[in-house]
Amino acid sequence: MKITDITVQSFRHMSNTVRDSEGHGHPGPEHEARSTMVTIQTDEGVSGYSFGPMPKGTLEGAIKPLLIGQDPNYREKIWHAMKERQRLNLATLNDKHLNTID
């Protein structure tokens, strides 16, 4: 099995969660929020989905070229490759991005 495509889809929804100055979520008034969903597809028709912060530019530039053609079952190999890539792109590839793919 090999990864063949990775896409990110942004969407808006109503939320009752607000963030404080440190980024922690708390109950709050209903408001419109924005989320992203990352989809990883394989040549065998298996797809994986994850919700998390993933700007399209980060996916296209730093993540997608690294993962296309990889076996998704080798999670630790992929994680270490992403962690190594992070050293060169710390401003654009943070831990939340790695967690979204992981």
**Domain positions in the chain:** 3-14+30-101
pLDDT given at position 4:
97
Which pLDDT tens digit goes with each residue over 28-48? 999 999 888 999 999 999 999
Interatomic CA distance for residues 87 and 23, integer angstroms: 23
Q: What is the pLDDT along the chain (102 residues), one digit of tens a residue?
A: 999 999 999 899 999 999 899 889 999 999 999 888 999 999 999 999 998 777 888 888 888 898 999 999 999 999 888 888 888 766 677 777 777 887
Tell me the whole-structure pTM to 2 decimals. Answer: 0.77
- What integer pLDDT is reported at residue 57 of this predicted model? 80
The owner of tokens 């070229």 is: 65
pLDDT score for 90 = 61
HEC states along 44-59?
Answer: CCCEEEEECCCCHHHH
HSE-up of 64 (CA within 13 Å, CB side)? Answer: 16
Cα separation, 39 vs 5, whole angstroms = 8
Domain at 3-14+30-101: CATH code: 3.30.390.10
